[in-house]
Structure formats: C-alpha cells, structure tokens
Amino acid sequence: MTSPSPRPAGRPTLEGGRAPRIHSFEEFWPFYVSQHRRHGTRVLHFAGTTLGFLFLARAVTSGRPVFLLWGLVAAYGLAWIGHFFIEKNRPATFQYPLWSFLGDMKMYALMWRRKMTAEAERLGFGERGEARTVADHPAS
C-alpha cells in the first residue's frame, strides 16, 4: 500500500472526489482557480458568462423572463462542458454555489483585464505549456 503523495502547502485539492471544507471566499478562490487550470475551460466560462449577461439584458429589455432561463442554460452549459470534458472535474457549483458564482464573476473580470492566466500562475495553477492568446497579453 502506498501513502498519498504530499500536497504543496496552501494548495487545496480534491480529496475523495469532494472539495475541501472551505470557510471563506479568500480560502475558496485558490480552490476555484485550481478547478480552472486549463485555458479551454476558462474560455468556455467566459463565453458562457457573456451569453448569460446578454440573455439577462434581453430579458430586461424585452420583458420576457424566458430569456433568463436561456441565459442560465448558456452560462452553466458551457462552463460544465469545460469541467466535464476539458478539466475532467466536478464543478464547484455543486458544493459551493454562492462562492462559485462569485469566483466566476472574479475570474470573468480578470479575463476582461487579461490577467487570469497570470493569476492562475501566481497561485501555482498555470497550465504547463499553456497556449497564450491575444487575450492573455496586456493591451499596449
């Protein structure tokens, strides 16, 4: 029987398929980033969140709340595709719905500012050999 490999200090990991017990958003953020290591997952989150906001705007301007449902389908659908097929992990939404939403908003803001890849690397969760795109470079 082999002993489990040691964890680097300060890095939350999945244990037994479940997220670690977390008590604050400051603790949650590194865990959230660890679940979004791959660029493709973050791109799908960005696209889904953008579509969610567009559907929300459409619901407000048209007075048709059905667009809210479509916004949720687009946002969560694209994000979950990233988790299940790219990251191959379980979305944090299932265990931490509010913090996961706040994490998505923080990640979305960092992506708009082209700083999410640097944030993942800062926390030690950058994808090795990660493909860089125009969105990863600061605007000149």
Give the pLDDT confidence of 85-127 residue by residue, as tens digits.
Answer: 999 999 988 899 999 999 999 999 999 999 999 999 999 998 7
Q: What gap in Å lies between CA 85 and CA 53, rounded to an integer?
A: 24
The dihedral built from the CA positions of residue 30, 31, 32 and 35, taken in this order, carries a sign that is positive
Q: What range does the domain containing 40 cover?
A: 25-124
- Residue 1: inside a domain: no
Total structural domains within the chain: 1
- Residue 12: inside a domain: no
- Residue 132: inside a domain: no
Q: What is the pLDDT of residue 126?
A: 83
- Residue 9: inside a domain: no
Contact call for residues 39 and 117 (beta carbons, < 8 A): yes
**For 39-68, what is each residue's pLDDT tens digit?**
999 999 999 999 999 999 999 999 999 999
Contact call for residues 110 and 119 (beta carbons, < 8 A): yes
Q: What is the pLDDT of residue 16?
A: 52
Q: Is the pLDDT of residue 26 over 60?
A: yes
More confident of the two residues 12 and 71: 71
**Residue listed under structure tokens 């890095």:** 11
Residue 18's DSSP bridge partners are 15
Question: Taking the complete model, does pTM exceed 0.85, yes or no?
Answer: no
